[in-house]
Amino acid sequence: MSDAVPQAPVNERVADPTQPARFPAGETAGGAPPLVAQGLHRTYRGVAGPELRILRGVDFTLNWGEAVAIVGASGSGKSTLLHLLGALDRPSAGSVRVGGTDVAALSEEEAAELRNKRIGFVFQFHHLLRDFTALENVMVPALIRGDSPKAAELRATALLGQVGLGARLGHKPRELSGGEQQRVAVARALVNEPYILLADEPTGDLDTATSRDVQDLLFEMKERHGVALAVVTHNRELAAKAERVLRLREGVLDNV
């Protein structure tokens, strides 16, 4: 092992604003997959009613560069699972490792930093900031990471171009169609060069034709940015585009 090799900080700017950043030393060492969940349980305690055991031992591994679809009936716990995988929530039992890092060992602040840098999220509803333009919305995670406004703008502009919105930079969410809003959300999810992309019914609110466009975009951007994708969906067409399909039923995840 050599100590002499200098390690680039993860947010070092590179000449090509679309080129992924390098990972910091240590992370993903030993070939850890981007995401590994073991024995996940999630129980919600009802205020009056009985406790709800939504997840009852979920094991899940997301490998480098792959796309996995997670399907299951409404209420089966898909969003609950995705929140745990994205370190937005903590399991009642079990572990989640992101690039080999155990989320349980992180403070709230450290978990937020991990999400900001390593994980992109796309939800059913775009969750864009309504008073911000498309460009500003995409810049936000980069500014939070500590990029200069200029670097954030450069990268956000490049990404909005990639998702076909180069002519919509100054539009606010209400001035965009549903499909365009999701395109902005995809650009925002990728602005910090994450290696995991998590999507929760990303086309659930779109008509058939627009849904197809957003599906294609998601997979195109996955390839282009080399991210591993886990997507929760009801849409069979979208699930069929993934390399693996898993079904959540009665609290466990099985191959379909």
Binding-site ranges for ligand ADP (CB under 6 A): 44, 52, 54, 72, 74-80
Rounded least distance, CB 72 to ligand ADP, Å:
6
DSSP state of 31: G
105 binds, among ligand ADP, Mg ion, none (CB under 5 to 8 A by kind): none
Rounded least distance, CB 204 to ligand ADP, Å:
10
In the bound state with ligand ADP, the residue whose beta carbon lies nearer, of 54 and 138, is: 54
Determine the Cα–Cα distance for residues 234 and 248; give it in Å rounded to an integer: 12
In the bound state with Mg ion, the residue whose beta carbon lies nearer, of 215 and 233, is: 233
DSSP state of 53: E
Q: Give me the 79-108 binding string for Mg ion, x by CB under 5 A, dash otherwise.
A: x-----------------------------
Number of H helices, E strands in the chain: 7, 10
User: Strands (DSSP E) along the chain, which ranges?
Assistant: 35-44, 52-62, 67-71, 93-98, 101-102, 119-122, 196-200, 228-232, 244-249, 252-255
**Contact (Cβ atoms closer than 8 angstroms) between residue 239 and residue 219:** no
194 binds, among Mg ion, ligand ADP, none (CB under 5 to 8 A by kind): none
In the bound state with Mg ion, the residue whose beta carbon lies nearer, of 70 and 163, is: 70
Q: Give me the 25-64 binding string for Mg ion, x by CB under 5 A, dash otherwise.
A: ----------------------------------------
Strand partners, 122: 199
Q: Kindly provide the b/e burial profile for residues 128-145, where b requires at least 16 CB atoms within 10 angstroms of the residue's own CB.
A: beeeebbbbbbbbbbbeb
Rounded least distance, CB 221 to ligand ADP, Å:
23
Rounded least distance, CB 132 to ligand ADP, Å:
27
Neighbour-count burial of 2, counting CB atoms closer than 10 A to its CB (0-12 exposed, 13-18 middle, 19+ buried): exposed
In the bound state with ligand ADP, the residue whose beta carbon lies nearer, of 36 and 84, is: 84
In the bound state with ligand ADP, the residue whose beta carbon lies nearer, of 44 and 104, is: 44
Determine the Cα–Cα distance for residues 95 and 39; give it in Å rounded to an integer: 7
- What tokens does 72 get? 């299951």
Q: What residue ranges bind Mg ion (CB under 5 A)?
A: 78-79
